[in-house]
Amino acid sequence: MIYTFLGRTGLKASVIGIGAGGPSRLGLGYGGSADDAVRLIRFGLDRGINVIDSAVTYGTEQIVGKAIKDCRPKVVLSTKATLGPYFGGLDGYRSIARLAARLGEVTSCVASGWALEERVNSSLRRLKTDYIDVFYLHSVTPAQYAPALARVLPTLIRLKETGKIRWIGITEAFPRDTTHRMLTRAANDGVFDCIMIGFNCLNQSGAALAAQAKRSRSGVIVMYAVRALRRQESLQVLMDKLVAFGCIEENDGDATRLVKMLKTHGVHSLPEAAIRFCRHELNPDVVLSGTGDTGHLESNIAACQAGPLPHVVSAEFRKLFSKLNSLTGGE
């Protein structure tokens, strides 16, 4: 396993981490059992992964706690709390109807520094640990950023001083902020020890932001690395939309052609290409892999440790998608 240092935290981190959320949620999202999820995490740990990322909204903290109980000191463990829309009006929700549709998410959010402290304590209990390596304010929108600094950052700093959390991070609301407005402010402020950014072949707009964060010595963790690039069929659906909206030329909108190019140049799959592109175009500290399948995880580990894509392949991805910033790649 290749390891890096996670920004100014000094934590030794595997270049690939296990993300316990996303559509899979360690396999729970596709019908897997809690025991299967524990086995998946331990499979990754046995192969050198030491970064595990969860959140209360994922419903996987207890599983993570069970999986790492015998090796907790060796794990870089992170979890998160989501701020409610009351921190920034309806920013990102666009309408009362959309807000109502996400009521379950909203009711799991924290509303104050006191509530955040309670959330940290409950996460510690579920994770069966007495400290969290990186605690993130999760999915923060541009309008929530300033209120978050004023209302909950002091609580996180105090919890850091007590040792319950070691480092403080922030993640963006990528589906609602595809141009990284919030994280641009956070990277320039240099307040947060780690940032989590959405980046992939289909939205390459975060490269300059990640470079700025690294200059501030913040750890950089990538989410959304694969998503729509898991399967050729899902990529084709997305490329058809891009052609229809005039975002790419019709002749370029053939996923089969792209896959053939990959194989011609020794790249075996779209997920491999996606991970290698993230790893070497953005140069993050960690790329998160969300999966419920040990075979997929093993392939992703190999991809993350492979070298850069052949120049002709990375150049093709840049030619096709580098001007797009409205996608998440999670479609």
Classify burial at 251, counting beta carbons within 10 Å of its beta carbon; exposed 0-12, middle 13-18, buried 19 or more: exposed
Catalytic site residue from 58, 93, 136, 224 = 58
Note if 58 is an active site residue.
Answer: yes
φ, ψ of residue 202 in degrees (nearest 5): -90, -15
Residue in 54, 17, 86, 6 with CA at minimum distance from that of residue 275: 17
3-state SS record for the chain: CCEEECHHHCCEEECEEEECCCCCCCCHHHCCCHHHHHHHHHHHHHCCCCEEECCHHHCCHHHHHHHHCCCHHHCEEEEEEEECHHHECECCCCCHHHHHHCHHHHHCCECCHHHHHHHHHHHHHHHCCCCEEEEEEEEECHHHHHHHHHHCHHHHHHHHHHCCEEEEEEEECHHHCCCCHHHHHHHHHCCCCEEEEECECCECCCHHHHHHHHHCCCEEEEECCCHHHCCHHHHHHHHHHHHHCCCCCHHHCCHHHHHHHHHHCCCCCHHHHHHHHHHHHHCCCEEEECCCCHHHHHHHHHHHHCCCCCHHHHHHHHHHHCCCCCCCCCC
Which residues are catalytically annotated? 58
